Amino acid sequence: MTVTSPILRQLFATVKRALKTYSEAQIVFQFVPEQIIIDSLENSASYDLNLELLCHSLYERILLPVDRCMSRRFFEHGERIRNYFQEPAFTLARPIHNGVKFLRQAPLRSLDVVDRHTLLHVGYQVSPCGKWIMAACVDQRGEAHDLGVWFTQSDTLETEIVVHVWDFALKFARRANVEWRIVFAKLGVMGVTELDSK
């Protein structure tokens, strides 16, 4: 089965529709590669490693429910008291002593003074066929991450790459009120038009 397969596209469309319809439910779709099943029959050591990677990937995608602490609810249909957050399997440790600087700035750029100038890594590439853009975002400590894939539909590929990757990075950065330092990196050669687009 290839990415251009009509059955695979129909499957992805069904998954997308289900996620949109049941957006409040914690539904995770995990596609198991055929190679994992074949390896289980031939090589048990390889199967154990692949299964471990699959379970780790699935754990990273399940969001952790967090309830807001409050004495009692005032209204039945008031603000949400439960929200869902990423809880990675492991993260890089924070520094033992955080350095906080006093700045007189108006308006405030960020409410977070401890995580100011945290790095946000954005990596992307274009598939060998040139029809798919793939990107990944991860913060400095690995506490949050996201993946994005887009099908290219225009003739101006470099401009479309910049639009998708830039919007993806901004959407990720807005999850936290942090004054980020954002680093963009591409796997492959970056053209002049792509470099000068933003």
Q: pLDDT tens digit string along 132-163?
A: 999 999 999 888 889 999 988 877 788 888 99
**At residue 129, what are phi and psi to the nearest 5 degrees?**
-80, -15
Helix (H, G, I), strand (E, B) or coil at 11: helix
Helix (H, G, I), strand (E, B) or coil at 164: helix
- In terms of Cβ atoms closer than 10 Å to its own Cβ (0-12, 13-18, 19+), residue 21 is exposed
pLDDT bracket for residue 100 (50, 70, 90): low
User: Can you give the pTM of this predicted structure?
Assistant: 0.67
**C-beta separation of 180 from 147 below 8 A:** no
CA distance 107 to 144: 27
According to the model, what pLDDT value does residue 96 have? Answer: 73
**C-beta separation of 3 from 132 below 8 A:** yes
CA distance 75 to 78: 5
Domain boundaries, given as residue ranges, for the chain: 6-85, 119-196
| Domain covering 119-196 assigned CATH 3.30.160.110 in the classification | no
Distance of CA 2 to the CA centre of its chain: 24
Helix (H, G, I), strand (E, B) or coil at 96: coil
Top-confidence residue, 46 or 188: 188
pLDDT bracket for residue 110 (50, 70, 90): low
